[in-house]
Amino acid sequence: MEPTAEPRAVDLASRAARPAIACRGITKRFPGVVANDRVDFEALEGEVHALLGENGAGKSTLSNIFTGLYRADDGELEVFGKPVAFDTPRDGIDAGIGMVHQHFRLVMPFTVAENVMLGDHSDVGRSFVLHPRAIEERVAELGERYGMAVDPRARIWQLSVGEQQRVEILKALYREARILILDEPTAVLTPQEAAALFETLRAMAADGRTVIFISHKLHEVKAVSDRVTVLRDGRSVATVETETSTLQSLASLMVGRELHTYRRPEEAREIGELLLELDGLSAQGDRGVEAVHGVSLHVHAGQILGVAGVAGNGQRELAEAVTGLRPLTAGAIRVGGVPLHTGDPRVAIKAGVAHVPEDRLHTGVAPSLSISSNVVLKSYRSDENSAGPFLRFHRIRDWAVELIRRYDVKAPGPGASARQLSGGNLQKVVLAREFSGAPRVLVIAAPTRGLDVGAIETVHGHLRDAAAAGVAILLISEDLDELRTLSDRIAVMYEGRIVGEVDAATSAPEEIGLMMAGGQAT
Amino acid sequence: MTVRIERRLTQPHWLKVAVPAGSLVVAFFLIAIVLLATGHDPAATYRDLFEAAFTAPGALTQTLIGATPLIFTGLAAAAAFRMNLFNIGGEGQLYFGTIGASAAGLLLAGHSAPVLIVAMIVAGFASGAAWALIPGFLRAYLSTNEIITSLMLNYVAGLFLTYLIFDSHSYWRDTTSASAAVFPIGKVLPDAANWPTFGSSVVIPFGFLLGVVAATLLWVLYSRTRFGFEVQVMSDSPRAARYSGMRTRRKILAVMALSGGLAGLGGASQVGDFLHTLDADPKGLRAYGYGYTGIVVAALARYNPFAVVLIAFLLGGLQNAGAALQGPDFPSGLVGVMEGMILFTALGGELLVRYRVRFARRRPVVAAAEPKTPASEAAR
């Protein structure tokens, strides 16, 4: 099997005839979730096939099944027309499937050739003595063929992120991968690097290989793929020709089901004074790159401002900047007109900014501590909860019992650890604590992620009540339905910027979906 | 059959007693094999061991003397480890405790015993705390690994001791007496700086009682106060602590100072109770490694201050008995084997508290042939 020895031109007719990888009815369950629900998928030889879907739609799970990292609970997988059952990733590699992960699997101090050599169990790789020269030559040759020039003797840490990605691709090609899966490959690339990558992918397809391109960015999918399969909530909803589809049609396929049917319940909510004012906010992400660029938003008392966006576009950093967890690099925050000294969570708490973080279990609570401890996480210093340096355990316990009753938390008791609670009950504990601090502003991120329908209703109810009571709420969510249900206005965040702000009641979901995916507002 | 080790979701309380007890039984069983192989009678050896540690005349006194420094270094380690702050520098902080306490004793010569003792306690605590604040600052503000820095500073502290007595004419060095002309030694503290002892048949050093008081205070601090609450939150999730508005850097500094201070108290007790001078001899105080043994004490005690006192007492007994057992037909290496065996099983047993071992039949490898039903999913 040496498909790269003589590049052959593929015409459309032969492409249509030969599926490289196909699956039918693939189902994969994890405790509590169905990641893939009867997924059908087929990619042909010589095509770039995009796998499009929002975060959590099941794209990564499916690719992990293709590479043998996971085993499907149900369904059939065929590679080049033969049914296969992969037990290990090795089986996937042997079948000619290569994967480029979003987070690279490279050994930094090693050279390019050494990394390619790692885990190679074919002829030269099997011998006890290493043959770096032969591998270097082959790597150089492959790089040249597909326009991915990398010095095979360079050490990985010397390379740019884009070059490191080429090494990952070369690794797969070196192992004779005829089907190459790339998981969100452009997430780490500059636009120029992305353009170069697309050319490489096209060249590989022209060579008869199959490229499966996983992404949630519409314009990239449109730019590089021949066909698109859209996943939503673990199901394959459609496979379409890229030629005949538009950004709009792809967006609505991706974003989803109830978008057309949904109507926001009309309720007269009193919009009061301006409580939260963000003025040109910028902040760095964890890797030192600017993640929030000049964000300006206004939230009034009794108003819910939704922030839409695909995960990783700066929403988490924005929430952390507003609540003092992340220092600002530029801009200012005013709460009720008073400038907030930023970068200190305690100051934000004192100013009445409550925060329900996206990571409930490790940021929102101390998971091993009891419900009692967690309900006073922010108020243990108050006179009610402590006397001098000592904590008043009885009062704290009584308070926890009271909150458990009031918020209907299903828990064995106030002494139960937060970790033992289900997602919905944990969120109730967090909400109970945040609301008991009588906040003026609430920043809440992904409030219902992972919750069941009943819990979602409860959380939404609490948010509506809080808004009715005059709290200014900044609601950050990737769930468009949720944003449209709750918000008065929706701001869309893309690559750290607010790319548009629309009225929640009158805007079309496609319009928002398009902005979320980096398209221009119409 | 496959053996799988799984994390326990809940840790039953009885395990926390049963596992250490079981570990001890296993240790004594393993030691018995070694003893038999080397031609000793295990039963007789264990009887001798127990007598030498606790029941022989003067044995209990020796055990208490051995336990005293271990209480302080054990508490020092427990105080820091509770917050996942791995202060391995108890050894060096203890040295600095001896430097501070001996300086206080020498400077205040002529004052009454209570003044001297209080001054030595305060100076010992402060010196140990100051030394521990070096890795504390590095950790809090520069995120360096406190394990490395605190460990390395132990060697610096040891060399500093050498410098004070052997390589300089420092305030601590005795330059007048006849014996000091032969071999460099530290000045001897005034008699009023000698800490009192209590009891007659069993002599309890003042330092031991101080250790028990320190353990009690530490327990109150960690389980009853806001400070202790913050430490709990920090240890469980530093992100949650920051999110709640806790001053996480200050907490790191405070806990490092507390930990170093406790080790420094151990140094003060060494000077006040036993040495009455600054001991820089590499074969003296520095050879015992109390700071390192304290880490073992804290680990065995699961960072509980009262358990630290108990474990320090037992370990003090074991060391004392080991020294007593040692003889022509009982090599010191064998004593080391016994101590090592007990520590090995005790720490190894910890695994069973946190994880459980499950024996399971292998699942069939071929997936396609196996019909999948919701029931078979649930059973897995």
Q: What is the pLDDT of residues B171-203, one digit of tens each?
A: 999 888 888 888 889 999 999 999 999 988 899
Record the tokens describing residue A333, joined without a space: 């925050």
CA distance A275 to A334: 8
- Please state the rounded mean pLDDT for residues A413-429: 88
Question: Any CB–CB contact under 8 A between A394 and chain B?
Answer: no
Are residue A477 and residue A382 in the same domain, yes or no? no
Using the beta-carbon criterion (under 8 Å), do A381 and B224 form an inter-chain contact? no
Report pLDDT digits (tens) over B50-99: 998 888 888 999 999 999 999 999 999 999 999 999 999 999 999 999 99
Q: Assess whether pLDDT exceeds 70 at residue A81.
A: yes
Bridge partners, A74 (sequence order) = A27
CA distance B215 to B73: 11
Domain boundary among A416, A438, A460: A438
Tell me, yes or no, whether A454 lies in a domain.
yes
Tell me, yes or no, whether A7 lies in a domain.
no
Q: Which residues in chain A touch residue B365, judged by CB atoms under 8 angstroms apart? A: 87
Tell me, yes or no, whether A238 lies in a domain.
yes
Q: Assess whether pLDDT exceeds 80 at residue A395.
A: yes
- Please state the rounded mean pLDDT for residues B263-271: 97
What CA–CA distances, in Å, run from B315 to A198, B27, B267, B286?
67, 14, 19, 18
Report pLDDT digits (tens) over B111-167: 999 999 999 999 999 999 999 999 999 999 999 999 999 999 999 999 999 999 998
Q: How many CB pairs under 8 A join A and B?
A: 77
Q: In this complex, which of A87, A323, A363 lies closest to B365 when CB atoms are compared?
A: A87
Are residue A305 and residue A207 in the same domain, yes or no? no
Q: Assess whether pLDDT exceeds 60 at residue A496.
A: yes
Report the b/e string of A380-410 with b at 16+ CB within 10 A. Answer: beeeebbeeeebbeeebbebbeebbeebebe
What is the identity of the amino acid at A125? G
Q: Which residues contact A345 (CB under 8 A, 6 or more apart)?
A: A323, A324, A325, A355, B242, B243, B244, B245
What is the identity of the amino acid at A420? Q
Order of strands, edge to edge, in the sheet holding A19-30? A33-44, A19-30, A74-79, A82-83
Are residue A296 and residue A166 in the same domain, yes or no? no
Q: What pLDDT shows up at residue B373?
A: 40
Q: Could you report the predicted ipTM of this complex, rounded to two decimals?
A: 0.81
Are residue A342 and residue A427 in the same domain, yes or no? no
Q: What is the DSSP letter of B193?
A: G
For residue A352, give the 3-state DSSP assignment.
coil
Question: What count of residues does chain B have?
Answer: 380
Record the tokens describing residue A452, joined without a space: 């069941």
- Please state the rounded mean pLDDT for residues B332-352: 83
Residue with the bigger pLDDT between B10 and A263: it is: B10
Q: Which residues contact A496 (CB under 8 A, 6 or more apart)?
A: A290, A291, A292, A293, A295, A313, A314, A317
Tell me, yes or no, whether A4 lies in a domain.
no
Instruction: Put residue A220 in one of left, alpha, beta given phi > 0 → left and psi -120 to 50 → alpha.
Output: alpha
Record the tokens describing residue A429, joined without a space: 């504990």
Q: What is the distance in angstroms between the Cα of B136 and the nearest Cα belonging to chain A? A: 21
Q: What pLDDT shows up at residue A49?
A: 95
Q: Assess whether pLDDT exceeds 50 at residue B110.
A: yes
Tell me, yes or no, whether A261 lies in a domain.
no
C-beta atoms surrounding A194 within 10 Å? 18
Q: For B230, which residue in chain A has the nearest alpha carbon?
A: A377
Using the beta-carbon criterion (under 8 Å), do B232 and A73 form an inter-chain contact? no
List A residues 340-359 in contact with B (Cβ-Cβ < 8 A): 344-350, 355, 357, 359
Are residue A433 and residue A469 in the same domain, yes or no? no
Using the beta-carbon criterion (under 8 Å), do B236 and A357 form an inter-chain contact? no
Query: With contact defined as beta carbons under 8 Å apart, do A42 and A21 qualify?
Result: yes
Query: With contact defined as beta carbons under 8 Å apart, do A446 and A476 qualify?
Result: yes
Bridge partners, B168 (sequence order) = none
Signed CA dihedral, B35, B39, B41, B47: sign only: negative
Q: In this complex, which of B226, B237, B367 lies closest to A391 when CB atoms are compared?
A: B226
Are residue A143 and residue A193 in the same domain, yes or no? yes
Using the beta-carbon criterion (under 8 Å), do A73 and B377 form an inter-chain contact? yes
To test the contact with chain B by mutation, choose from A320, A369, A394 the residue with the greatest count of B C-beta atoms within 10 A, namely A369
Q: What pLDDT shows up at residue B349?
A: 84
Q: Could you give the domains of chain B?
A: 1-40+330-363 (no CATH), 57-325 (1.10.3470)
Q: In this complex, which of B229, B246, B366 lies closest to A85 when CB atoms are compared?
A: B366
Q: Of A402, A341, A347, A342, nearest to A376 (Cα)?
A: A402
**Rounded percentage of chain A residues whose pLDDT exceeds 90:** 45
CATH number at residue A130: 3.40.50.300
Domain boundary among A382, A416, A438: A438
Are residue A431 and residue A445 in the same domain, yes or no? no
Q: In this complex, which of B225, B367, B372 lies closest to A390 when CB atoms are compared?
A: B225
Q: Which residues in chain B touch residue A373, judged by CB atoms under 8 angstroms apart? A: 229, 232-233
Tell me, yes or no, whether A361 lies in a domain.
no
Q: Assess whether pLDDT exceeds 80 at residue B323.
A: yes
Q: In this complex, which of B243, B366, B377 lies closest to A325 when CB atoms are compared?
A: B243
Q: Which residues in chain B touch residue A29, judged by CB atoms under 8 angstroms apart? A: 377
- Please state the rounded mean pLDDT for residues B347-355: 80
Q: What pLDDT shows up at residue A125?
A: 60
CA distance A391 to A375: 13
Tell me, yes or no, whether A263 lies in a domain.
no
Q: What is the DSSP string of A143-183?
A: HHHTT----TTSBGGGS-HHHHHHHHHHHHHHTT-SEEEEE
Are residue A297 and residue A218 in the same domain, yes or no? no
The secondary structure of A215-255, three-state, reads ECCHHHHHHHCCEEEEEECCEEEEEEECCCCCHHHHHHHHH
Q: What is the distance in angstroms between the Cα of B252 and the nearest Cα belonging to chain A? A: 17
Q: What pLDDT shows up at residue A31?
A: 66
For residue A44, give the 3-state DSSP assignment.
strand
Tell me, yes or no, whether A266 lies in a domain.
no
**Rounded percentage of chain B residues whose pLDDT exceeds 70:** 92
Q: How would you classify the pairing of strands A74-79 and B197-198? A: unpaired
Q: Which residues contact B240 (CB under 8 A, 6 or more apart)?
A: A362, A363, A364, A365, A366, A377, B233
CA distance A196 to A429: 49
Q: Assess whether pLDDT exceeds 70 at residue A285.
A: yes
Are residue A299 and residue A399 in the same domain, yes or no? no
Are residue A209 and residue A141 in the same domain, yes or no? yes
Domain boundary among A406, A421, A438: A438
> What is the CA angle A385-A386-A391, rounded to 5?
100
> How many domains does chain A contain in total?
3
The model's confidence at residue B372, banded by pLDDT at 50, 70 and 90, is very low
Q: Assess whether pLDDT exceeds 50 at residue B237.
A: yes
Range of the domain at A416: 366-438
Judged by average pLDDT, the poorest of A192-201, A204-213, A362-371 is A192-201
Question: What count of residues does chain A have?
Answer: 522
- Residues of chain B with a CB closer than 8 angstroms to some CB in chain A: 224-227, 229, 232-233, 236-237, 239-247, 365-368, 372, 377
Q: What pLDDT shows up at residue A185?
A: 86
Q: What pLDDT shows up at residue B362?
A: 47
Query: With contact defined as beta carbons under 8 Å apart, do B346 and B23 qualify?
Result: yes
Q: What is the distance in angstroms between the Cα of A29 and the nearest Cα belonging to chain B? A: 9
Judged by average pLDDT, the poorest of A331-340, B128-137, B229-238, B345-354 is B345-354
Residue with the bigger pLDDT between B83 and A163: it is: B83
Query: With contact defined as beta carbons under 8 Å apart, do B278 and B98 qualify?
Result: yes
Chain centroid, CA B310 distance in Å: 12
Element (H, E) at A83: strand A82-83
To test the contact with chain A by mutation, choose from B82, B237, B248 the residue with the greatest count of A C-beta atoms within 10 A, namely B237
3-state helix, strand, coil in chain A (%, to 5): 35, 25, 40
Q: Of B161, B135, B23, B156, nearest to B76 (Cα)?
A: B135
Q: In this complex, which of A83, A363, A369 lies closest to B239 when CB atoms are compared?
A: A363
Q: In this complex, which of B226, B240, B368 lies closest to A381 when CB atoms are compared?
A: B226
Are residue A123 and residue A52 in the same domain, yes or no? yes
Are residue A116 and residue A215 in the same domain, yes or no? yes
